[in-house]
Each structure stands twice: as structure tokens, then as C-alpha cells.
Structure 1
Amino acid sequence: MNPKLRAYCQAVWCISQQHLTVLLAFFSIVNQYTMRICLNLAITEMATPSKKPESEPHFACKQTTLDRFQSLYNEDQPHETFDWDEHTQGIILSSFFWGYVVTHFVSAFIADKHPRILLGFSVLITAIMTLLTPLAIDNGGAPLLIVVRVIEGIGEGATFPVLSAIVGHWIPPQQLGLLGSFIYSGGQIGSLVGGIGTGYIISTLRSWRLVFYVWGTFGVIWYVFWLMLGFESPENHPFIKDNEKEKLLGKFADAKKEVNVGPIPWKRILTSVPIWGLIAGQIGHDWGFYLIATDLPKYMKSVLDVSVKDNGLLSYFPFFCMWIFSILTGWICDIQIRKKCVSTTTARKLWTTVGSLIPAICLMAASYSECNKIIVVICFALCVTFMGGFYPGIKVNANDLSPNYAGFLMAIVNGIGAITGIIVPYIAGLFTPNQTIEEWRFVFWLSFWILNITNIIFVLFASGKIQPWNDQKYEAQQDS
């Protein structure tokens, strides 16, 4: 790089390149989640409402004077709707994850080798498909929308694996809880901004089409910034200051991710007990998270009869609380480990348990609160908030186990967990054809047991130690 240009770039940025990379990584997830979840709320206005069975007395909560307290004003509904029943809507919402899961496993082979290029294309493909969503619906209805969502999932599926690889280059173990949690918590801010923003756009501008144009455009803008400023490691960063590079690399010690990793130790990874414990924890997290992010807007409208504007606010504002909680617990987790109050293994198990047990209890409490909207909203808010414990728990655990193969591990673990994204919307649509409280209670009970059983497995088998197969020398000795 030209020395003058390098000196200019170093002088322009008032923050370190590590923190700049962390911010760019954070906003990559923010954009991905706004594009992912906007349909979850928009579909409640796009689909023709289900007919209420006259024989069912508890189909939904009736409008009361409490709604005036929850709503700033009533908005007119968009006029255009589509005749999609609950089963069809469940397929539409789950179709994203068909491609999402596949790309996780495909990206596993290249996530650690080309993370910069792959992350950029991941966001760009998702953005293009989001922009094309209204056109797809107009010309092909639900079938073409499903195709677009599958491709969108294919684009987004590489995001977490490549980010895990980038984290392995830029964030040393001492900062993994805080900065790692900050990056991955972009999903909560994306859900918050995407959910509330989508509700505002539909209620104010009376157009669900604009939702996809807005979020898709932001995705393209992020891609342009990433091309100019994003780099996969300090070693190949063209204008990082020498003292920052040396100081950063010095913090890694034995946990530094190698630039050129060797062949993937398949056998060692697949027979590693901590890996299977991590997979179980990821399944629990994803089941709970996708239930809230994907289907809570439908519950709010169908059961509680909440308007679209308030639906976006009530369904997604708790994700802001989750974001704060994940950052706070990440900071606390780093202190616990750094001051040796607990081991890394114990810290990961502790915060994963917080992210599993408390949300499971709150979920069930909400389902038995009937039509008391204040109690229901509080329960869901606490449920989402305490899920933030997953981030200093399982989300950064792949980097604990193997910095060298963190991208591959994240692809496998997150890919298996993402299968729940296919199952959850389908289960919710299958078991709630009439959208009654009793039907939804069954779905919540199922989630309660999944959250707790997977947490028990994680607590029994997880580890926070670097595994021997992370070292290529160890692999050579084992194979000799």
C-alpha cells in the first residue's frame, strides 16, 4: 500500500482497527436480522386473517380500554392481502432456513480461509433478495416468495461461520466475552430495529413493500463500507498501526488463530464430547430465539389482538433489553475469567443456564396469563432479556474450543441449531390452526422442555478449554 495513503488512513480513524472491525461485524449481523425478520411482522398484515370459529370462546383476547394505553393511535390496515392460511404462512416463514442450514455446512469448508470475501457476499445476496421480494410476490405469489426466501437464507447462512473466523483473528481470549458478545448481539439490535421499523413503515406509510426496499438498501450500503474498510486479520490489514498490531497479537499468546490452517480434523471433532455439548446448547438457544423472533408477532396479533404498530414495538423492543443484558453479562463473564473467580468452562455453563432456565419459566408464565396483556408483555420481555445469557455462554464457545477451526465449528454448530428455524414455524403453524391460547400453550410447553433438556446436556458435557486437536502438531502425532 502507498505509504502516504497508509499514513492518511491511519490519521483519519480515531478508533483502533480492532474496534472498527468489531463495529463492521456487528452491523453485518444487524443488517442480516432486519432483512430476515421483517417478513415475520409484515406477513401478519399481508395475509388474510383466519376466520374465528364461533364455537371457540377463547379464540383471542378482545379489545379493551387497555389498548388505548398501549397504542399511541390506531392506524388503517393496508388494503392488499393474500389468502395464505396458517399452514402456508408457516412454510413461508420456515423456508428461509432451508437455504440457511445448507449454506452453513457448505461454508464450513471455506469459512476459515476466505472470511472477508464470504461475509461481504453473504450480506449482499441477502440484500438483493430482500429488494426483489415484492416483485416475487406480485409475479409468483407464495411459491415464488418461498424461492426468494430460500435464496436469501443461502446468502445469510455463511454469516455466523465467517464472523467466528474473523473473531478468531481480531479478538483475544481476554476480550472474547465482551467483544464477542457485542458482535453476535447484533441479532438483537437487528430484530429490534427491523421489528419496530417494519411496524412503523406499515402503519404510517401503509405499504408492506417499502419494508423490503428499506432494509435491502441498508444491506447494500453496509456492503460498500465493508469493501473499503473490512479486513479478515491484523496481519493483512493495509493501514493498521504497527504498535496496535503488535499489542493485539501479543494478547493472543497460545490462542492465536493461525492464518493458514491445516486440514480439518474431522474424526477428532466429530468424536469430541464438548462439541456435542455445544451443539445441544445451540439447539436450545435457537429453538427459543426463533420461536420468539418468528412467531411472537403472530401470537400478539391473533391471540392478543395487537395492532401492527404496537405489535412491532411489543414483540421486538425486548430485544433491546436482551442486547443490554448480553453486553453486561459478557463484561461480567470476562471479569470472572480474568480474575479467576470461576474457570472458563464454569462461566460458559453458568450463563448458558441463565439463558435457558429463566426464559423457559417466563415463557410458560406468559401462556398462563390469559388476556392480561401487561403480564404477558412483561413475561415475554423477561424471557427475551435473559436469553442474552447465551452470548457469553454458547455463542463464543467455539472460539474457546478451537481458535484455528472456529469458523468450521460455528458452521457445524450453528447449522445444526438452525434446523430448528425450519421446524419451529412449521410446528407453530401446524399446532395453532385456530390461533387459540390453548393451542399456543402446547407450543410453549414443548419449548420449555427443549430449553431445559438441552441446557442439562450442555452443563454435563461442555468445556471452555482449547481442545488438543486445535494444534496441527498434535494431529500429526496422532496420525503418525
Structure 2
Amino acid sequence: MDSTQRSGEMPSTIIISNNGQTRIEQQKKGCFPIRYNLMFLGWLAAVVAYSIRIDLSIAMVAMVNQTFVENFKTNKSDDFKSFCPSPYNKSSNHKNNSLITGDIDWTPRQQGVVLAAFFAGYFCSQIPWGIIVQRFGGKKTVGFGLLVCGILSIVTPAAAEYSFVLTVIVRGLMGVTQGSVYPGLMSLIGKWVPLDERSKFSTVISTGGSSGVIASTYLTALFSEHDYLGGWRTAFYIFGAATCVWFIFWMMSVYNFPAEHPRISRKELNYIEASLTSATANKKDIKVPWASILKSVSIWSLCILMFCNSWLYYVQLTFMPTYMNVILGLDMNDNGIYSSLPYLAGAITSCLGGVIADCMIHRGVKINTTRKIMTTIGVIPETITTLTIAFLGCKSNLVITMFILTHAFGGFGDAGMSISIIDIAPRYAGVIYAIANCLANFSGMLAPLVTGYITDVEETLDQWKKVFFLASGLNIFGYLLFLTLAKVEKAPWSDDITENDEAEVKLIDSTSNSETHTKNYGTIVS
């Protein structure tokens, strides 16, 4: 008795005749759906991607010579008295005596350039990656893109110590290579995940980003505070190495199409194919309807919303640790803890929002209504809490609470924004998401530059109010456009199946093939 029989699984024999050759496959029926491999490894991809994306923002506090920064600002302005009293030095009247001194002399504007370099590369690479994903699928593009990004993370400390320019180049290349991740994941979700599971899949994977930020924030702060662990450099090495390990499991377990997976059961394959109303899950050579995409008001309003919402997110992602240290006076350890709490809250509410959205759709609520309700729950409260931060001043506990609430409410919005792309055009989700993510991360490039410019001369509470006002205003503007102009439902141009396509789907519904087999199917006998 073999292991399959011992485990109680019933094997299914499929005889496939292909070009005169016969192949026998054993299909195993397991209790764990194969498509959940994509959810788990996609979640891990987001974890390592955000870990190596955000570690520099945390390490910057320990890397940079804060005395140099303070002297640079003092030389530009005599009125430098708006730091909050340090909670660890009550005798401090206005300057933060808990500033951490590193070895690298970067001004606030240079810090903004370094942080923006990643997003500049990310922005420039999105559309090319979308086209590549559409042509070659998500497996290799996500895998190799993130692998190279992890290797570049390992060399970042050496680059930072060598020169400012080299650091900008390395960070830019990291953005280019990491640009493959989300277009690839969206493409895979569109091909693997039934409609009523998409919110859950998308939000679980998106929590990987929050989880990566949590891990990166806490561990980078921990390493930065203790030199005996290697200091801030260790974080870059660990997260880069973790990415290389992830790559091995990704390449072994993920396939571009359900029909390619050698271990998928016939029951699950048929369920996926029957749940998708087009040839999206199996059709490889798809002509992208560029004219229809570029003329879609729904797509453009969604892109603008993602740009505006991302501005608020990236301001906090890149500058919250600096704000807590330089303005609120938190030391490195507390900075790591309190900077990670907002992302923990966001991860929890993102999962909860996905479950709520799927339940609403399952109960018959229109997709358009569901997505806009979840977006509203996310955008409006997070804007209010961001504005509140601007008026709380030095009330550290309340400021930290507002940061946490901002991300907690924002997590609900994950079930209403980017996932709408798959609802509108699942067949072209990869390339459309690349366009939307391109614009979203254009804000990731601009937000650090603008914030660095605003706070360059005087990093005061008044200057930071300008930062929060700008982010809040953009967030509301994008939300109103999406609410009034977007129509979240399957677009007519995304469902152009021909009779040949339908025949192909029926044929592929009956079997599966591994990645090493030819894709021209012959007669199938079960």
C-alpha cells in the first residue's frame, strides 16, 4: 500500500494522448487546496519585499550623523526651537537630546533623495514589468525580480559607506527589480483565484506588506541599537538572505496556470476553471486592449485614488521613524516598537476587511457597492486621524495612537482599492495593475522628496503640519474621484472570448499538465 492510500487519499488516473504519446498522471485529492500555496508564498513575497524596502527608513536614524544634520539646519535658521521635550530627559526645553549619531553625513534633503530612489526605480519599471508579466507569467518575473532585489539589499551597507551617489543607484536598482512583485502577484491571482475568494487572497497577501514592515521596523531598530549584533548593517544582510531562501520555495511550488500544476486535483482544477467566466486562467497569448484600458474612466479614477492614498502611506512609511525620534524624542528601542504597531493594526484590519468584503459579495451585495463601502471605511477615518496628528503637537501617546488608528482604518481599504482592478478586468489584471502601481509609486518617489524639502531647513511641528495637510488633502481628492467616477464591475472589453477560446477552456478543464510538458493537448480519456 503506497503513501497515498495510507493517507486516505483517492488517486485519480488520467490518460493523456499527445502527438501519439501516452502519459499517465496520478492526481491526488488532498484536504489543502493547491491554490493556497499561492496565498502563502505570495504573502511571504510581500513580507520580504517590504522588509528590504523599509529597512533603510529605520536604519537611517542610526546611520546618519544627527549632529551633522542639526548643525546643518542651525546654520540655515536661528529659530530652531520646535522639538518636543524628550520624554527621556525632562529637563530638555526644546531640543531632543536623545538624537542618535551615526557615521554617514546626509542632510535631510539627501535622505529624502535616497529614500525616493527606490520608488523612482519602482515607478519606471511598473509598465515594463506589466508587459513582461502578461507575456511570460508571474512565476519567474516575481521570483527572479525579488531575488535580485534581495542580493542588492545585501550590498546596500557597503554602498552607503562608500558614497551617497552609489547608494542612490543601488536603491534605484532595488526599486526596478522589486517592481515585478505586485503585477506578477495580481496576474497570478486573476488566473488562480475564484471571484468570491479574491478579496481574501488579495488582503492576506497585502498583510504580508504590513508584516514585513513590522519585522523590518522592530528587527532593524534592535540591530541598530546593539552593536554587538552587528549594528544596522545586519538587517540588510538578514532580509536579503531571507529573500534568497524564499526564492527556492517559490520556484518549486508556484505555477503560472492551474492546469500546469502537477499536484492539483481534478476537483480543484475544475472548480477554479468553472468559477472563472473567461479563458483567463489558461489563455496565454492574450492581446492587450490598450485603447480600451486607456479610455476607461474607472481605471483612471482608480489609478488616481491609488496615487493619492499611497502618498499618505509613503509619508508615514518613510518618515514615521524619523518623526518619532527627531520630533517626539523616542529612543531607538521604543521607536522600533511604536513604529511597528501601526502596521500590526493594519495587517489585522486588512484581513478582517477581506473577510467582510467576501461575505458581502457572497450575500448578494454588488461588487461596485462592496468596493466603495470598504474604500470609504478606509479613507475617511484615516484622513481624520492624520489631520488629528497635525494638531496634537508633543502629546506623544496620543500621536502614536493616531498613527496606529490611521493604519488600522487604512487596512479596511485594502478590500476596496487595488483589488478592484481584478474585478474590472481579471484577464488583464497584471498589466493594468502595473499601470496603477506605477502611478501609486510615483507618489512613493515624490512624497519623500517633498517631505524632505519641507523639513529640510526647519524640522519643526509647523513644517510637519504642512506635510500632514498635503497628504490628507490628496487622500480626500482621490477618494471623491473614485466614488463618483469608478464603476467596479467586469468591463465588456475584458471578456472577449471566441469560440476557439471556449473550446480550449473546456478541453483544459478536463485535465492538467506540468510545466515540462507540451501545451498542445490531444485526446483525453479518464
Tell whether the structures are fold-level matches, with TM greater than 0.5.
Answer: yes
Residues 1:175 and 2:192 aligned together: no
Instruction: Quote the offset at 1:102 in angstroms.
Output: 1.2
Aligned counterpart for 1:34 among listed residues 26, 34, 51: 51
Q: Name 1:365's counterpart in structure 2.
A: 388
Distance 2:282 2:424 in 1: 14
Q: Name 2:320's counterpart in structure 1.
A: 296
The 5 Å alignment of 1:247-326 reads: 247-254=271-278, 256-326=280-350
Instruction: Quote the offset at 1:255 in angstroms.
Output: 8.0
Deviations for 1:159-201, whole angstroms, at most 9, x for unmatched residues? Answer: 1111110001111111111112111221111111111111112
Instruction: Quote the offset at 1:247 in angstroms.
Output: 2.3
Contact 1:348 1:397 in 2 (8 A): yes
SS at match of 1:83: coil
Instruction: Quote the offset at 1:387 in angstroms.
Output: 0.9
SS at match of 1:260: coil
Q: Name 2:244's counterpart in structure 1.
A: 220
Instruction: Quote the offset at 1:366 in angstroms.
Output: 1.0
Deviations for 1:202-236, whole angstroms, at most 9, x for unmatched residues? Answer: 11336111110011000000001111111122111
Instruction: Quote the offset at 1:152 in angstroms.
Output: 0.3
Instruction: Quote the offset at 1:249 in angstroms.
Output: 2.2
Deviations for 1:238-297, whole angstroms, at most 9, x for unmatched residues? Answer: 111222212232222348544224211111111111111111111122111111111111
Q: Name 2:434's counterpart in structure 1.
A: 411
Aligned counterpart for 1:150 among listed residues 156, 162, 172: 172
- Structure 1 pair 6/85, CA: closer, same or farther in 2 (3 Å)? farther
Q: What amino acid does structure 2 have at the position aligned with 1:173?
A: L
Q: Name 1:331's counterpart in structure 2.
A: 355
Distance 1:10 1:196 in 2: 42
Q: What amino acid does structure 2 have at the position aligned with 1:207?
A: G
Q: Name 1:86's counterpart in structure 2.
A: 108
Distance 1:241 1:258 in 2: 16
Q: Name 1:445's counterpart in structure 2.
A: 469
Q: Which runs of 5+ in 2 are unaligned?
A: 1-12, 15-22, 91-96, 499-526
Deviations for 1:366-407, whole angstroms, at most 9, x for unmatched residues? Answer: 121111111000011101111112211112111001111000
- Structure 1 pair 266/465, CA: closer, same or farther in 2 (3 Å)? same
Aligned counterpart for 1:396 among listed residues 419, 422, 427: 419
Q: Name 1:457's counterpart in structure 2.
A: 481
Q: Name 1:478's counterpart in structure 2.
A: none
Contact 1:173 1:255 in 2 (8 A): no
Deviations for 1:72-119, whole angstroms, at most 9, x for unmatched residues? Answer: xx9995x74211000100000000011101110111212123211101
Q: Which moved more, 1:48-57 or 1:323-332?
A: 48-57
Distance 2:285 2:408 in 1: 37
Q: What amino acid does structure 2 have at the position aligned with 1:230?
A: V
Aligned counterpart for 2:223 among listed residues 201, 204, 209: 201
Distance 2:388 2:445 in 1: 25
Distance 1:10 1:145 in 2: 50
The 5 Å alignment of 1:117-136 reads: 117-136=140-159
Q: Name 2:19's counterpart in structure 1.
A: none
Contact 1:38 1:211 in 2 (8 A): yes
Q: What amino acid does structure 2 have at the position aligned with 1:108?
A: G
Distance 2:225 2:98 in 1: 6
Contact 1:257 1:403 in 2 (8 A): no
SS at match of 1:207: coil
Contact 2:126 2:180 in 1 (8 A): yes
Distance 1:85 1:6 in 2: 62
Q: Name 2:181's counterpart in structure 1.
A: 159
Q: What amino acid does structure 2 have at the position aligned with 1:468?
A: P
Deviations for 1:38-72, whole angstroms, at most 9, x for unmatched residues? Answer: 000101111111216485464311123699xxxxx
**RMSD of aligned alpha carbons:** 2.5
- Structure 1 pair 276/324, CA: closer, same or farther in 2 (3 Å)? same
Deviations for 1:412-462, whole angstroms, at most 9, x for unmatched residues? Answer: 011111100110000111001221111000010001100001000000111
Q: What amino acid does structure 2 have at the position aligned with 1:28?
A: A
Q: Name 1:22's counterpart in structure 2.
A: 39
Q: What amino acid does structure 2 have at the position aligned with 1:86?
A: P
Distance 1:384 1:133 in 2: 28
Contact 2:258 2:281 in 1 (8 A): no
Contact 2:43 2:207 in 1 (8 A): yes
With normalisation by structure 1, the TM-score equals 0.91
Instruction: Quote the offset at 1:298 in angstroms.
Output: 1.2
Query: How many aligned positions are there?
Result: 463
- Structure 1 pair 14/144, CA: closer, same or farther in 2 (3 Å)? farther
Residues 1:96 and 2:146 aligned together: no
- Structure 1 pair 297/6, CA: closer, same or farther in 2 (3 Å)? farther
Distance 2:64 2:346 in 1: 29
Distance 1:355 1:58 in 2: 36
Contact 1:351 1:389 in 2 (8 A): yes
Instruction: Quote the offset at 1:357 in angstroms.
Output: 1.3
Q: What amino acid does structure 2 have at the position aligned with 1:113?
A: R
SS at match of 2:417: helix
Aligned counterpart for 2:259 among listed residues 230, 235, 259: 235
Q: Name 1:477's counterpart in structure 2.
A: none
Contact 1:284 1:356 in 2 (8 A): no
- Structure 1 pair 75/452, CA: closer, same or farther in 2 (3 Å)? closer
Q: What amino acid does structure 2 have at the position aligned with 1:134?
A: P
Q: What amino acid does structure 2 have at the position aligned with 1:91?
A: V
How high is the sequence identity, in percent, across the aligned residues?
27
Distance 1:438 1:354 in 2: 29
Contact 1:278 1:413 in 2 (8 A): yes
Q: Which runs of 5+ in 1 are unaligned?
A: 68-73, 475-480
Q: What amino acid does structure 2 have at the position aligned with 1:369?
A: L
